[in-house]
C-alpha cells in the first residue's frame, strides 16, 4: 500500500469509508476491512456510527497505533465549548484517546473560521488529535485556514472522481504541503460501466472501480476513500497496488471531467467552489 506524506502526516493512500453505513454493517465491514489490510478508517460525528467504528477497531486485534483513524466535527458543534465537548464524545465513542486526523466537515457556518481553527489546534495541543484538516473547502478557505493555524493543515477532503476537475484545489494543496482526500470516488456508481474506464480496465484485467481508485492514488498527494458493504468488493477495491496506469491512461481519465460533474453540493453547507 502507498502512504501519502502531508505536512508530517503519513496517511495510508486508501481509507475505508463509513458514510451511509448503519452500525450493523460497520460491525461487519470494519473488521473485514482491517483483515484485508486497510489501515485507514474514515468516519464522522454526523454518520452516527463512531461507537461501532470504535468497537470494531478495539476488537480487531490490530494495534490502534497501526490504524489511521479520521473523524469530523459536525457544523452544529463549531462553537468553541461545543467543539471541545464533541471531540471528547467522539473519542469516548471511538474507544480511543486520540484520532489521527480531525476535520471540519463543511465550511459554511456563522462561527468564525478563526474560532474553529483555534479549536482544532487546541485539541491537537491536548494530544487528542494527531493531525488536523478540513473538508469541502475551496482554495480561498484553505489559504485562510493555513494562515490561521499554528499547526499544519494536512488534508482537504473533497469530492473527487474522473467526472470532476479538481486541478485548482490539487495545485493549491500541493503548494502548501497538504494532501487531498478523495470522496465519492465511484461518482455515485456512475464510473461503473463507463465505456472509456471499462476499456482501460479491460487492458489491465481490472474493474472500473479498481481503475478509478488506482487513478486517484497514483496522483501526487492524493488519498482516496472507498466505501462498500460487500466484503468481496472491499477486497477488490484494495487490490490496486499491483498495476500501474500509463501517463496516457491517467490523462484519458482526467479528460472525462465535465463542467457539471459535481454531485455533492448542499447549499447550506458548501462554499463557492473553485
Ligand X SMILES: NC(=O)c1ccc[n+]([C@@H]2O[C@H](COP(=O)([O-])OP(=O)(O)OC[C@H]3O[C@@H](n4cnc5c(N)ncnc54)[C@H](OP(=O)(O)O)[C@@H]3O)[C@@H](O)[C@H]2O)c1
CA distance 82 to 12: 30
Q: Which residues between 143 and 182 bind ligand X (CB under 6 A)?
A: 157
Smaller CB separation from ligand X, 127 or 198:
198
Q: Which of 45, 56, 96, 135 binds ligand X (CB under 6 A)?
A: 135
Residue 96 makes contact with ligand X by CB under 6 A: no
- With CB atoms as reference, the residue minimizing the distance to ligand X is 17
User: Residues 30, 186, 222, 223: which binds ligand X (CB under 6 A)?
Assistant: 186
CB of residue 228 vs ligand X: minimum separation in angstroms?
3
Contacts of 162 (CB under 8 A, 6+ apart): 187, 191, 194, 197, 212, 215, 253, 254, 256, 257
Cα–Cα distance for residue pair 95/51, rounded to 1 Å: 8
User: Among the candidate windows 13-21, 75-83, 117-125, 249-257, which touches ligand X by CB under 6 A?
Assistant: 13-21
The catalytic residue positions are 47
Q: Which CA distances in Å does 152 have to 46, 97, 176, 177?
A: 25, 21, 9, 9
Among 17, 54, 107, 133, contact with ligand X (rule: CB under 6 A): 17
Which listed range, 57-65, 88-96, 114-122, 231-239, lies at the site for ligand X (CB under 6 A)?
A: 231-239
Tell me if 237 contacts ligand X by CB under 6 A. yes
d(CA 127, CA 97): 8
Based on the shown chain and the rule CB under 6 A, indicate whether residue 138 belongs to the binding site for ligand X. no
Compute CA distances 226 → 17, 40, 216, 251, whole Å: 5, 10, 11, 22
The reply to whether 225 sits near ligand X by the rule CB under 6 A is yes
Position 197 contacts ligand X (CB under 6 A): no
Contact window for ligand X (CB under 6 A) among 11-19, 172-180, 197-205, 239-247: 11-19
Position 216 contacts ligand X (CB under 6 A): no
Q: How far apart are CA 142 and CA 192, in angstroms?
A: 32
Q: Where are the beta strands (DSSP E) in 148-190?
A: 153-159, 179-183
Our CA angle for 83, 28, 60, nearest 5°, is 75
Q: Does 183 contact ligand X by CB under 6 A? A: yes
User: Is 35 in contact with 64 (CB distance < 8 Å)?
Assistant: no
Which residue, 42 or 165, is less far from ligand X as judged by CB? 42
Query: Which residues contact ligand X (rule: CB under 6 A)?
Result: 17-19, 42, 105, 135-136, 157, 183-186, 189, 192, 207, 209, 225-230, 233, 236-237, 264
Amino acid at each position: 500500500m502507498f502512504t501519502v506524506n502531508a505536512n508530517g502526516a503519513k496517511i495510508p493512500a486508501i481509507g475505508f469509508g463509513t458514510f451511509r453505513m448503519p452500525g450493523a454493517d460497520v460491525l461487519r465491514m470494519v473488521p473485514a476491512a482491517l483483515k484485508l489490510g486497510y489501515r485507514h478508517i474514515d468516519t464522522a460525528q454526523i454518520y452516527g456510527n463512531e461507537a461501532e467504528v470504535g468497537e470494531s477497531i478495539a476488537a480487531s486485534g490490530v494495534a490502534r497505533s497501526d490504524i489511521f483513524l479520521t473523524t469530523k466535527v459536525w457544523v452544529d458543534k463549531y462553537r468553541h465549548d461545543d467543539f471541545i465537548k464533541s471531540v471528547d464524545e467522539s473519542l469516548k465513542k471511538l474507544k480511543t484517546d486520540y484520532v489521527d486526523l480531525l476535520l471540519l466537515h463543511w465550511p459554511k457556518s456563522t462561527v468564525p473560521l478563526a474560532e474553529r481553527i483555534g479549536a482544532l489546534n487546541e485539541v491537537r495541543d491536548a494530544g487528542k488529535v494527531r493531525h488536523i484538516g478540513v473538508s469541502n473547502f475551496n482554495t480561498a478557505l484553505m489559504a485562510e485556514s493555513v494562515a490561521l493555524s499554528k499547526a499544519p493543515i494536512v488534508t482537504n477532503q473533497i469530492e473527487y472522481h474522473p467526472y470532476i476537475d479538481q486541478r485548482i484545489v490539487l495545485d493549491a494543496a500541493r503548494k502548501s504541503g497538504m494532501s487531498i482526500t478523495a470522496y465519492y470516488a465511484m461518482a455515485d456508481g456512475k464510473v461503473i460501466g463507463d465505456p472509456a474506464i471499462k476499456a482501460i480496465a479491460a487492458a489491465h484485467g481490472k474493474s472500473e472501480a479498481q481503475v478509478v481508485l488506482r487513478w486517484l492514488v497514483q496522483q501526487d498527494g492524493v488519498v482516496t476513500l472507498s466505501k462498500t458493504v460487500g466484503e468481496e468488493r472491499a477486497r477488490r477495491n484494495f487490490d490496486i497496488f499491483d498495476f500501474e496506469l500509463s501517463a496516457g491512461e491517467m490523462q484519458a481519465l482526467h479528460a472525462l471531467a465535465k463542467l457539471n460533474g459535481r454531485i455533492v453540493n448542499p447549499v447550506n453547507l458548501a462554499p463557492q467552489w473553485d
